[in-house]
Structure 1
Amino acid sequence: MARWQPETTQRLVVAAVDLFTEQGYDATTVAQIAERAGVTKSTFFRHFADKRELLVAGQETLCRLLTEGIAEAPAGAGPLDAVAAGLERASSALGPANRALGPRLKAAVAASTELQERDALKSVGLAAAMTAALVARGVPELVAQLAAELGVLAFKRGYAQWSEIDRDETTGLAEHALAALNDLRQATTALT
């Protein structure tokens, strides 16, 4: 097995999700994931602390892109418009490989309490990053938290729709995430 191959992280994630789907999270070992990805076990541990961390691969990049998009939104943009700018920026980093992985990842998470917990922590991290970016723009903290939570929900709904539609469909993740954010914005009017 070669020690350093291109796109090792992505291969490890795909191998893990496939194994989690085939035989369950608990029955899957790090050695099996490494073997399926064509790397050594020590290479696995250079990329991830444990198999749970595979679920949050790319979270730092996603948080950075969300916050950059929010920070770069026009000065007069309201909180949800700034969140929309963050969603657009973050969506640009996800391509066909992420889209194809979506349904399998969803099935793996649904079948494992441990992965559900890790997924929830990922959502908390994304919301915290967006909240901080909005507060830095001068948005009051409570409003920033609410806008960030709606942003996370919009991203998740948009990603789910994008990953489950016909592969010939050319609509990108950004369009789905922004449509989900608009739906949520409209739904909030029914709360009063």
Structure 2
Amino acid sequence: MARWEPDAQGRLQLAALELFQERGYASVTVAEIADRAGLTKRTFFNHFTDKREVLFAGAKDYEAGILKYLAEAGDDLSPLDAVLAALTRSSEDLVQYGDFARARQRLIESSIELRERDLVKTASLTAALADALNARGVPLGRARLTAQAALAVFDTAYVAWIGEGTGDLETLMGQVLEELREAVR
């Protein structure tokens, strides 16, 4: 593969995913990822800060999309319903990545280092959602609780969607929300 071919970031992500699946996350080096993609280590570091970020690329864009959808949510929605509506709209973009999402989730679950990074990204999203809810007039404590509850619903539905490979994420989110509401009654 020529080094000048387009989509270096995508090539690096694909190469990393293949290598991680073949040999496990811990045993793969940045140099091996770059070599598999037909690129240099320098090119790798132009796109990612470290090999963990290969699996979390796009997290900031994803967060920005959710926050945009939350800002567009109607004022007639409860804070929880507004966040869930934003997460539902953002999940429409995830459906096209089903196979990648499943492979990514298996890798994250196989590595403490990746689970820690996932928790950091989730904490960042939770804080951003809480701040956005607070800006909508929700007291900060309630905003934090709402953001955490909404992300628990989303995460539970997402893991089920990945594991089953059937159904749609929006329907699963609705089912999990009903389970949560039943649990707190």
Q: TM-score higher than 0.5 here?
A: yes
- Preserved contact between residue 3 and residue 43 of structure 1 (Cα < 8 Å): no
CA distance in 2, matches of 1:38, 1:158: 37
2:30 maps to 30
Percent identical pairs in the alignment equals 39
Matched, 1:91 2:91: yes
CA distance in 2, matches of 1:178, 1:130: 19
Where does structure 1 lack aligned partners over 5 or more consecutive residues? Answer: none
Deviation string, structure 1 residues 65-99 (Cα, Å, up to 9, x no partner)? 11112111111211111111211221122232x21
Matching residue's letter, 2:66: L
Where does structure 2 lack aligned partners over 5 or more consecutive residues? Answer: none
1:110 maps to 109
CA distance in 1, matches of 2:14, 2:173: 23
Displacement, 1:15? 2.6
Residues 86 and 54 from structure 1, CA distance in 2 versus in 1: closer, same or farther, beyond 3 angstroms?
same
Matched, 1:186 2:185: no
2:4 maps to 3
Matched, 1:14 2:10: no
Alignment of 1:1-192 (within 5 A): 1-6=2-7, 8-96=8-96, 98-166=97-165, 169=166, 171-189=167-185
Residues 174 and 43 from structure 1, CA distance in 2 versus in 1: closer, same or farther, beyond 3 angstroms?
farther
Aligned residues: 184
Displacement, 1:64? 0.9
Q: What's the TM-score, normalizing by structure 1?
A: 0.85
- Secondary structure (helix, strand or coil) at the match of 1:74 reads coil
Displacement, 1:129? 1.4
- Secondary structure (helix, strand or coil) at the match of 2:93 reads coil
Residues 185 and 36 from structure 1, CA distance in 2 versus in 1: closer, same or farther, beyond 3 angstroms?
farther
CA distance in 2, matches of 1:159, 1:11: 25
Displacement, 1:4? 4.7
Between structures 1 and 2, the one with greater helix share = 2
Q: What's the TM-score, normalizing by structure 2?
A: 0.88
CA distance in 1, matches of 2:5, 2:183: 48
Residues 19 and 178 from structure 1, CA distance in 2 versus in 1: closer, same or farther, beyond 3 angstroms?
farther
Matching residue's letter, 1:70: L
